[in-house]
Chains A and B, each alone.
Chain A
Amino acid sequence: MERKELKAISLLLRALLVLIGLACLWQLHLDLYPVRSYYSMMLDPMDPAASVYRRGFVCDLLVCLSVAAVFPGLAVLWSLFRQVGLGRGFYQQKRLRLLAWLAAVETGLLAASDIMMLSFRVDRLGSGFLWGIPSMLDGTMLLYIGLTLGSAALTVVAYALGQSAQKAAALQDENALTV
């Protein structure tokens, strides 16, 4: 592939990363509102629903943390995509390993928020098992489960690519030594 072509692809990928960053910032801004309102409501110990508010606070806080955890991953992806534009080889094992770790943390946070969200919806099962499941797995829930699966897939792929990069780097070092 030509150098110019690679540079254009690298720029396109980084522009998309900037847009994702902006979307995540907006999402974080939207998600912080329920966290603040739950926090102010759960402070009243006389309120009989204080425990529900506390659970809501933890759930929304986990969602906020999972959105915030995207930013370090975006930074690592930025540096990876920058290397694509420079036309260097597959010598990125450290970045890929870091990306795998960050994706694993993201998966954990998303999975925890999924469990919290499901615990809020579990009483919907009372309307009968067959009709309860669709009302429990609503649009928001499905979106979060999908994101968790996607994040888990990214973890495995980044780990596998990191292993390949390590192997390629070892071969390159060996070649450099023998030449």
Chain B
Amino acid sequence: MHNRLLSRSLRALVLLGAAMWLYLAADNVYHLVLAARGLAWDASYGTFGRSVRAEAVILLALLPALPILWDMWAIAGQCGTRRGFDDRTALRLRRMGRCALATTTMFALLVWVMLYDRAYRVSEQMNVLQGLYYRLDFYVVAILGLTLVSAIGTTVLFLLSRLAEKAALEQAVNDLTI
């Protein structure tokens, strides 16, 4: 009963995450199209070029989140049963780790793009701290934080997949000896 409740709450969170993913993807595509139209209208104006680049990287960062949500749904369902970590869980965790690595890379690229785009705000007269104020605004720090959290998630998923592999192997040995 307790496990089933945990499983259901995890699945509800995954569903909410999926709904948010859909909304974000639609919003991102809409803005990407708007920026591309702007770029076609006036190629000399840098803002549209910057927007197209940033929106494209965000879209690339969103893509690996879909298989992660799919595998999270499956693992959350497994929490509700009495089955432990098996071969399939290990496989799912490894795939989630790989996708999380892709997301981390894309977030890191996004941070780099954002910092690059904000370089024009900093003049030579400013000292280091003033330059930091203009570069590291709310959005850059938020995406930087997400990159770091995603990197931790990647490492933890890698550890968990190794644990699951070990557990599956022990289970197989037990099955053989019985």
Interface SS of chain A: helix
* CB < 8 Å neighbour of A20 from B20, B137, B148, B158: B148
In the complex, 18 of the A-B residue pairs with CB atoms within 8 angstroms, ordered by the A residue number, are A12-B155, A13-B156, A16-B148, A16-B155, A20-B149, A23-B144, A24-B145, A27-B141, A27-B145, A139-B139, A140-B138, A142-B24, A149-B13, A149-B17, A152-B13, A153-B10, A160-B10, A163-B2
Check: B170 CB closer than 8 A to any chain A CB: no
How many residue pairs between the two chains, A and B, have CB atoms under 8 Å in the bound complex?
Answer: 65
Check: A129 CB closer than 8 A to any chain B CB: no
Instruction: State the Cβ distance, B98 to closest chain A Cβ, in Å.
Output: 17
For A109, the chain B residues whose CB sits under 8 A away are none
CB <8 Å contact, A17 and B145: no
Interface range on chain B (Cβ under 8 Å from partner) = 20 to 34
For B9, the chain A residues whose CB sits under 8 A away are 156
For A27, the chain B residues whose CB sits under 8 A away are 138, 141-142, 145
Check: B116 CB closer than 8 A to any chain A CB: no
Given A16-B151, A156-B10, A30 and B27 touching (CB < 8 A)?
no
Interface range on chain A (Cβ under 8 Å from partner) = 20 to 34
Check: A69 CB closer than 8 A to any chain B CB: no
* CB < 8 Å neighbour of A137 from B2, B23, B149, B158: B23
For A26, the chain B residues whose CB sits under 8 A away are 136, 141
CB <8 Å contact, A84 and B159: yes
| CB-CB nearest in chain A for B19 | A149
For A137, the chain B residues whose CB sits under 8 A away are 23, 27
* Proximity string of chain A (116-147) to chain B, C-beta cutoff 8 Å, 1 when within and 0 when not: 00000000000000000010010110110110
For B95, the chain A residues whose CB sits under 8 A away are none
Q: Which residues of B contact A (CB under 8 A)?
A: 2, 6, 9-10, 13, 16-17, 20, 23-24, 27, 30, 79, 136-139, 141-142, 144-145, 148-149, 151-152, 155-156, 158-159, 162
How far, in angstroms, from A137 to B28 measured CA to CA in the complex?
13
Instruction: State the Cβ distance, B141 to closest chain A Cβ, in Å.
Output: 5
CB <8 Å contact, A159 and B6: yes
Interface centre among B13, B139, B162 (most CB of A within 10 A): B13
For A46, the chain B residues whose CB sits under 8 A away are none
Check: A1 CB closer than 8 A to any chain B CB: yes
Query: Which are the 5 A-B pairs with shortest beta-carbon distances?
Result: A20-B148, A23-B145, A153-B13, A27-B141, A16-B152
| CB-CB nearest in chain A for B2 | A163
CB <8 Å contact, A23 and B141: yes
Instruction: State the Cβ distance, A1 to closest chain B Cβ, in Å.
Output: 6
Instruction: State the Cβ distance, A145 to closest chain B Cβ, in Å.
Output: 7
* Proximity string of chain A (5-21) to chain B, C-beta cutoff 8 Å, 1 when within and 0 when not: 00001001100110110
For A139, the chain B residues whose CB sits under 8 A away are 139
How far, in angstroms, from A32 to B23 measured CA to CA in the complex?
31
Instruction: State the Cβ distance, A128 to closest chain B Cβ, in Å.
Output: 16
For A149, the chain B residues whose CB sits under 8 A away are 13, 16-17, 20
